Structure 1
Amino acid sequence: MKTNSVAIKGKDSCCGCGNCAISCPKNAVRMDLDGEGFEYPTVDEDLCVNCGKCIKVCPFELAKDEPCSNVISCYSGFYNTDKEHLSTSSGGVATAISKSFIKSGGIVYGVAYADDYKSIIVKRVDDVKDLPQLKGSKYAQAYKGDTYLAVKLDLAEGKKVLYIGLPCDVVALKKFIKEDHNLYTAELICSGITSPSMHRQFVEQIEKTTGKKITYFTYRNKDKGWHWPSIQAFSGGTLSYNKLLSASLAGYAFKTFMRYSCYNCQCKVYNKADLTLGDFWGLSKRDLRYNSNGVSAIIVHSEKGVSLMSSLDDFILHGATFEEIKNGNPRLYSCLAKPINREKFGNVFAERGLIAACDECRMWKDKIKDLVKELISIINL
C-alpha cells in the first residue's frame, strides 16, 4: 500500500468530496460506490507515484491548519412574502442571498434533485428562474462529479461564484481552489448526510406503492408547521405521499445511517466559509423575531459575508448573537454519536435494501414514538 496516498484513510476520515480523484496527476484515484451507496476513493497502486497530492487536498487533513471561528455578526430572518417563505426549509435566507447574487451577475452552485427526483446533484444556476431547484433540505449526499472543476473554470473566466454546501464541501472546494477573490461560500449547519442509495430506494418505494411517477418531492413541507416537517410527493397535481419526516422510513434511516465521517466530522471547528446558514432552532415563540413558518440563522465570518448580506430583497433581518444560534444548534460544534445499530443497518441495507434494514433495526419503542409524533402533529394543526 502506498503510504502517502488516500489509500491509508479509513471510512471515518473520508467525506467523499472527490478532491483526491480530480487532483491526482496520474489519474490513479477514482471514486467508487460501496455497498451502502457512499462514494470512497480507490487507488490504483500501479499508477500511483506516492506524490501525496491527494492527501494535501483532503478536507480531513486539517492538522496543520489554524482553526477559523471568526464571527463578525449574526442575524435571524425570514422572507416577508408567504409564497417564498413557505417554499423554503426555514426562513429562506439562502434563496434570498442567491437571488441577489445572480442579479448582480454571479453564478450559484447548490444542491438540487435530478429530474426524476431519485438522485441528488450539485447544480450550477445562473438564472433566477432556476433557483427553486436549489430550495429545500435534501438529507442524502449529493453527487458532485466535476463540480469543483466547473467552479474553477468559472473563476478562471473572471465570474463571481457563490457555492452553498455542507461544511466539508466548502473546505474541500477551498482546498482545491485555494483563494480567489471572486469565490464566495456559504456552509449549512449540518447534522450529517445519509446514503444517496437510501434516497433512491425511498423514492422508488413510493412510486411502487402508488403506481405513479413522482413529479415533485420535498423532505420538508411546512403544512404541519416549521417544527413538524413532512415528506410530500406529488404525481402530477395529486398528493401521493404525505408523512412526517421524523416518522418515516427515510427519517429513521437519516438518524441511523449516516456516512461514517459524519460521526467524526473535522470541519466544524475549521470554519472556512464566508457565511454559516441554518434554522434558528430554540427561538421562543414569544420572541418578536419568531415566525411560525420558519426562521433562518445567519453567522457572518468575513467581509465577503458582509457583502452577501448587504442587499436582500423582500427579506426581514433582525439582530442575533452567536450564543443564541449556538444554543439551539449543537451541530455547529459537535457531531452526533454513532448509533449502536449503525453497522447492522448498513449491512442489512447493503444486502437487502431500505425496507429490510428498517424492519430489522427499528424497535417497538421507535414505532410507538413515530405514532405519537403523528398524533401530536395532527393535534397541533
Structure 2
Amino acid sequence: MSTYLKTNNKIDCTNCQICMIVCPVSCIRSVEDNFGFAYPAIDKEKCINCNMCVKSCHEQSIFKTEAINRRIALKNNCEKEIMTSTSGGVFIELAKYTLSIGGYVCGAIIDNNLEVCHILSNKLTDIEQMKKSKYVDSNIKDCFQEIKSLINKGIYVLFSGTPCQVAAIIQYIGRNKYLITCDFLCSGCSSPIVFKKYIHYLEDEYKSKLISFDFRTKSLCWVHPAFEIDFENEKVIIKHEDSAYYWLFANGASNKPCCSNCRYIENKISDITLGDCWGINENDKIYDEFGVSYININTQKGEEIFDEISMNFTYRELFNGEYPQYRQIHKPTDIVDKELFFRYIQNHNFLETTKIFLPWQYKENFISEKIRQIKKELFRRGFIK
C-alpha cells in the first residue's frame, strides 16, 4: 500500500490532512489543486525526516476488523425523523444517544456560504444540520484536533463521515472507548469547485440567488430522490435523474481521484455503517415510502450502542442470501476522462461543460429539460399561451 507523500500520486491521498496535524515542525501545508481538493505539500528545508507523516497515513495502514457483520433493515418509529432524514432516520438516534451520555457529535453540514464542512457540537440544533446526504467533499477544518482534545478528557464523541474520514480519525486517535464512528455506503466525494459552478449555473438559470440546497428531499417520496433548492423568489425540485450535477457525481466524473481506488468498499472499519435499504419489498412490514435504512454493525461497540437505541426503530435482521439492491455498493465508475473534465470546467461554465461531457442519452434528457424551461420562460413573459 502506498502513500501520496512517497508517490505524489493523488489516487493515494484522501485529503484527510492528518499528516499536517502530526508534523512536529509544522512543515506540511495544505495546497488546493485546480480541482478544489487539498493535498499536503512538504517544505523540504524545514523537514527533519522524522517520517511521522508517512506513519500517520491511513492509506498505508492495515486496520483490524471485527467479524460481526450484523445487517439490519430498519426505520425510525418517529415519522418526523424519517421525513427529515435521508432514508430511515438512524443517524439522529445515534446522535441523541451520544448526547445522552454527555458526548459531542461531529458531522457534515452545509454552511451559510453553501460550502460543506464538518462541525463538532453538543447542541441538537447543530446536529439537525448534520442529517441528510451532501454530495460534496467536506472540509474537516480543525475537527480532528478538537475531537482528540475531548476524548483525552474522557468525553464521548460520535464521528460521522465517509469511510476514509473514519479511517483517518481512527489512525489519528486509535480505537478509543470514547470514540464512536459511523460511516455510510459511499459513492465518492464530488469537487467543491464543480458544486460552486453548478450553483452559479442555477442562479443564472432561475435568475435568483440560491439560499439553501437539500441533496435528498422526500418531496417526491424516498424512491424518487431529488434536489430541493430554495431561491429568494421560488423553490425548485430537480429529480436526480434529471440533474447533470448528480449524474457527474454518481458516475465518478466529479469525484476526487482516490474514490476510484477506495479501500473501504468491503473493508468496513467503523462501528456502524449506514445506508439506504434499496430494493426492499413494498410488502415488507417495515417498508415505508418515505425511507427505510440499512445498517451494517461492524464492531462490538456498534452492537452495544444499537441495543441501547433499538427501541426507537421498527427493524428486522437481514440474513444470508437476503441482500437489498444497493446503488452505492460498488466503486464509482470513471467513464469520463477526469483530468480532461476538470481542465475544461476550470475555464468554462457548468452548462458548457456538461454539453461536452454528458453521454448522448443523458444529453437528450438535459436538452428536453432545457426546452421545457425555455417554454416556461416564454409563457411567463407572455410570448406563448
TM-score, reference length from structure 1 = 0.88
1:54-93 per-position Cα deviation (integer Å, ceiling 9, x unaligned): 111112113xx25526225221111233322111111111
In structure 2, distance between residues paired with 1:351 and 1:32: 20
Partner of 2:281: 284
Partner of 1:59: 58
Asked if residue 164 in structure 1 is aligned to residue 160 in structure 2, the reply is yes
Q: Choose the corresponding residue for 1:295, options 292, 297, 302.
A: 292
Partner of 1:316: 314
**8 Å contact 1:4–1:51 — kept in the other structure?**
no
Name whichever of 125-134 and 208-217 sits farther off.
Answer: 208-217
Q: Which amino acid aligns with 2:241?
A: S
Q: C-alpha displacement at 1:4, in angstroms?
A: 9.1
- Tell me: CA distance 1:105–1:239, structure 2 relative to 1, closer, same or farther (3 Å): farther
Partner of 1:198: 194
Partner of 1:270: 267
Name whichever of 303-312 and 20-29 sits farther off.
Answer: 303-312
Larger Rg belongs to: 2
Partner of 2:241: 246
Three-state SS of the structure 1 residue aligned to 2:322 is helix
Name whichever of 251-260 and 349-358 sits farther off.
Answer: 349-358
- Tell me: CA distance 1:5–1:199, structure 2 relative to 1, closer, same or farther (3 Å): closer
Q: Choose the corresponding residue for 2:100, options 91, 98, 103.
A: 103
In structure 1, distance between residues paired with 2:119 and 2:207: 29
Q: C-alpha displacement at 1:211, in angstroms?
A: 4.1
**8 Å contact 1:207–1:213 — kept in the other structure?**
yes
- Tell me: CA distance 1:322–1:278, structure 2 relative to 1, closer, same or farther (3 Å): farther
Q: C-alpha displacement at 1:197, in angstroms?
A: 1.5
Three-state SS of the structure 1 residue aligned to 2:316 is strand
1:251-262 alignment, distance < 5 Å: 251-254=246-249, 255=251, 256-262=253-259
Q: Which amino acid aligns with 1:174?
A: I
Question: How many residue pairs were aligned?
Answer: 366
**8 Å contact 2:107–2:127 — kept in the other structure?**
no
Q: C-alpha displacement at 1:353, in angstroms?
A: 4.0
In structure 1, distance between residues paired with 2:321 and 2:99: 32
- Tell me: CA distance 1:4–1:100, structure 2 relative to 1, closer, same or farther (3 Å): closer
Partner of 2:375: none
**8 Å contact 1:99–1:131 — kept in the other structure?**
no
Q: Choose the corresponding residue for 2:70, options 62, 70, 73.
A: 73
Q: Choose the corresponding residue for 1:145, options 133, 136, 141.
A: 141
Structure 1 unmatched runs, 5+: 375-381
**8 Å contact 1:103–1:128 — kept in the other structure?**
no
Three-state SS of the structure 2 residue aligned to 1:285 is coil
RMSD, matched Cα: 2.4
1:287-310 per-position Cα deviation (integer Å, ceiling 9, x unaligned): 223211111111111221023212
Partner of 1:40: 39
1:199-220 per-position Cα deviation (integer Å, ceiling 9, x unaligned): 2222233334434333332011
1:129-188 per-position Cα deviation (integer Å, ceiling 9, x unaligned): 322201111011000111110110111121100101111000011001123211110111
In structure 2, distance between residues paired with 1:234 and 1:4: 41
Three-state SS of the structure 1 residue aligned to 2:46 is coil
Name whichever of 28-37 and 353-362 sits farther off.
Answer: 353-362
Partner of 1:127: 123
Partner of 1:378: none
In structure 2, distance between residues paired with 1:358 and 1:5: 30
- Tell me: CA distance 1:8–1:48, structure 2 relative to 1, closer, same or farther (3 Å): farther
In structure 1, distance between residues paired with 2:66 and 2:216: 29
In structure 2, distance between residues paired with 1:81 and 1:351: 47
In structure 1, distance between residues paired with 2:143 and 2:93: 23
**8 Å contact 1:252–1:358 — kept in the other structure?**
no
Q: Which amino acid aligns with 1:25?
A: P
Three-state SS of the structure 1 residue aligned to 2:210 is coil
Structure 2 unmatched runs, 5+: 371-385
**8 Å contact 1:279–1:297 — kept in the other structure?**
yes
- Tell me: CA distance 1:352–1:49, structure 2 relative to 1, closer, same or farther (3 Å): farther
**8 Å contact 2:3–2:12 — kept in the other structure?**
no
Name whichever of 355-364 and 294-303 sits farther off.
Answer: 355-364
- Tell me: CA distance 1:18–1:66, structure 2 relative to 1, closer, same or farther (3 Å): closer
Q: C-alpha displacement at 1:369, in angstroms?
A: 4.9
Three-state SS of the structure 1 residue aligned to 2:295 is strand
- Tell me: CA distance 1:100–1:175, structure 2 relative to 1, closer, same or farther (3 Å): same
Partner of 1:8: 7
In structure 1, distance between residues paired with 2:120 and 2:63: 31
In structure 1, distance between residues paired with 2:298 and 2:289: 27
**8 Å contact 1:13–1:60 — kept in the other structure?**
yes
Provide the identity percentage: 24
Name whichever of 261-270 and 166-175 sits farther off.
Answer: 261-270
Partner of 2:376: none
TM-score, reference length from structure 2 = 0.88
Partner of 1:347: 343
